[in-house]
Chains A and B, each alone.
Chain A
Amino acid sequence: MTVVFSRGFRGKRRDGPSDRVPPGQYLTDDFPVLSAGPTPHTPLEEWTFTIQGGAEPVSWTWDEFKTLPSEEPTVDIHCVTRWSKLDTSWKGVSVDTLLESVDHDASYVVAFCDGGYTTNLPIEDVTDGKAWVAYEYDGEDLDPEHGGPARLLVPHLYFWKSAKWVRGLSLRDEDEPGFWESNGYHLRGDPWLEQRYWGD
């Protein structure tokens, strides 16, 4: 089938420095909102974050979570739908900090969320300073439309791994495909290797 080129069409993408923009990605200045379902609204008094699958489950209430040591990472983020956003600033608790409370020897985690969304990750991808549970974006409380009160933040992988409305991590011995990984999206999702889909 021959492609029909449209004279003068560019779209709103921008190119960026190739050491910061992975292959096939374009820069954006906005922060597109993408969603798999209605925004959950769990009241903070009922919110908990739980790590299950270790020697014992560990859980924090919202107040307890906010007293944990926090960090303020500035990171680039890359969505599998091809937009990238550089130098985004967040505040949250490092997953390393959370895992310190748990006795485990898991190789994988599954993040689970309000609304039922899940995503799977190897433990190496959420440790050693690579992942946070973030509750502030750009100096303000994280908007519900962007995953507030808290979302997972794993910027070195495609942003579908940065699960919105995260409520916990389930420690596993095996890699268990999550919501998108079980239907075409790559199990790991490294944007620098362009691991978007199964078989990539």
Chain B
Amino acid sequence: MEIRDLKLDGNAIGGLMLELVGSDMTTTDCVCGGCGAHEEMARLDVYVGAGIVVRCPHCEAVMIRIVQSRERTWLDLSGTASLELTP
């Protein structure tokens, strides 16, 4: 099994984000803090390691990092310049 098969997409964190934010995030427009590209969250690259890493599909910059324990979730959005929410 190659690491290529470990690269998923933002659909894979759909449930997690739904639970954290309360609404579907797969179509949320996200702006990469590295290169400025806009993509819906479903189109971002998702890697599952010790935690979850969401990367820009254009420049591979880390946009989001997620660590989950049973009770707590840490969400690092510092690599994402902006998320467009429609509450």
Contacts and interface: CB of A to CB of B under 8 A. Distances in A.
A116 B62 contact: yes
A185 B7 contact: no
B57 to A, nearest CB: 11
B51 A37 contact: no
A120 to B, nearest CB: 14
A184 interface: yes
A89 interface: no
A44 interface: no
A189 to B, nearest CB: 10
Nearest to B1: A33
A143 to B, nearest CB: 10
A36 interface: yes
B12 to A, nearest CB: 14
Nearest to A179: B65
Interface magnitude class on chain A: 20 to 34
B60 interface: yes
A33 B51 contact: no
B3 A145 contact: yes
B64 to A, nearest CB: 10
Interface in A1-55: 33-39
B67 interface: yes
Given A37-B55, A184-B67, 5 more contacts: A35-B3, A36-B50, A37-B53, A179-B65, A183-B74
Nearest to A159: B50
Contacts of B7: 38
25 contacts: A33-B1, A34-B50, A35-B47, A36-B53, A37-B53, A37-B62, A38-B3, A38-B7, A39-B3, A79-B50, A116-B62, A145-B1, A145-B3, A159-B50, A179-B65, A180-B50, A180-B51, A183-B51, A183-B67, A183-B74, A184-B51, A184-B67, A184-B74, A185-B50, A185-B67
Interface in A48-99: 79-81
